[in-house]
Amino acid sequence: MDSVTPRLGILASRVRYEEKNIMAALERRGAEFEYLDPRSLFVVGAAQREAPSFVFNREIGHFRAYYAASALEAAGATVLNTAAATHVTGDKWHTSAALLDAGLPTPATALAMTPDAALKALEEIGYPAVIKPLVGSWGRLVTRVSDRAMAAAVLEYVAALPSPQSHVVYVQELVPKADRDIRVVVVGGTALGAMHRRGTEWRTNVARGAVSEHCPLSPAHAELAVSAAAAVGADIAGVDLIEDEEGRVTVLEVNGQVEFRGFQEAEGSRVDVADAIASLLIARAAA
C-alpha cells in the first residue's frame, strides 16, 4: 500500500445529497478519502498498489456498481457493500430469493422464464398483482395489473422488448396496504430509524412524489429490517416494509444503494445518517 494513498475510496459517478453529506461527515471526522469516478475506472486483474484498499461503492448504475465492486475485490480491495450484496440487492429476484431463504416474510413472488409463463404465474398469485423489472428503481416501469386481460396486454409489450433479460418476468402479489410504506435505514447491523413514505399514487417512492414522515421505530420493525439487510449481505441498506390491512408486516425490498435525503429530513436531529455511515467506513477501513 502506498503510504500517501488514502485507504478509503468513494466510488460514485454522481455526487448527490447522500454522497456529498457522507464526504462532509468523513472530513468532519478528519478521515482522508479519495474520490473515484467509475466512468474512468478500469481494473487490471492484479492487485493495484495505488488503489484504495477499502472502497465505499455508491455508483448509481447497478451493472457498473456490481462489476466495479467485483473487479475491485479481485484487485484486493474490500468493498462495501460487497459485490455479492450489490448483486443481490440490485436485482429484485435475487433479493426475494435471499429473503425467502432466510425465512423472512415477503409478498408472494414468482419469477417466470417467459412472458407466457408469467401469465400462468399470475393466475396462481391472483389479481391485482404487480409486474416489475428485475433491475432498476424509483418505481420505474413497475406495473399494476388488475386482471388477466390487462396482464396479457402488458406481457405482450414485455415480450416485444429487445433485451433477453426483459423476457424473464418478476411478478408479485399486490399487498393491500395503506397509502404508505415504512422505510428503515440499516447501517452496520443497526436500524437507525424509520420513516413513512406516503404517496397519492400506489407506488410510494419519494422519486414519484411521496412524502417522508418520521415513524417511531418499533423493536419488531427494527429486528425485521436488520434481518433483511443481513439476509442480502448488505452492511448499509434501506429496507422497505409494508403492512397489510390485518397488520402483518412483510419485507418488500432491500436497497443496497440507499438514498436517505427524505429519511434525514423526516428524522431531523434524531439521527445523522451520513455520520453513521462515515463512522462505519472509518472503522472498516482501519480494520
Q: Which residues contribute to the site for another protein (CB under 8 A)?
A: 12-16, 19-20, 23, 35, 37, 60-63, 90, 133, 135-138, 140, 238, 255, 257-259
- Cβ nearer to another protein, comparing 119 with 130: 130
Cell 447497478 sits at which residue? 62
Q: How far is the CB of 214 from another protein (least distance, A)?
A: 20
- Cβ nearer to another protein, comparing 16 with 29: 16
Nearest to 228 by CA among 139, 66, 105: 105
Three-state SS at 106: coil
> Could you tell me the strand order of the sheet in which 180-187 lies?
211-215, 190-198, 180-187, 236-243, 249-255
- Cβ nearer to another protein, comparing 119 with 233: 233
Q: How far is the CB of 141 from another protein (least distance, A)?
A: 9
CA separation for the pair 139, 191 (Å, rounded): 24
Find all residues with CB under 8 Å of 81, minimum gap 6, and list them. Answer: 57, 69, 89, 233, 234, 235, 236, 237, 256
- Cβ nearer to another protein, comparing 90 with 125: 90
Q: How far is the CB of 14 from another protein (least distance, A)?
A: 6
Q: How far is the CB of 143 from another protein (least distance, A)?
A: 15
Looking at residue 62, its amino acid is: H
Between β-strands 8-11 and 54-57, what pairing exists: parallel, antiparallel or unpaired?
A: parallel
Q: How far is the CB of 20 from another protein (least distance, A)?
A: 6
- Cβ nearer to another protein, comparing 61 with 76: 61
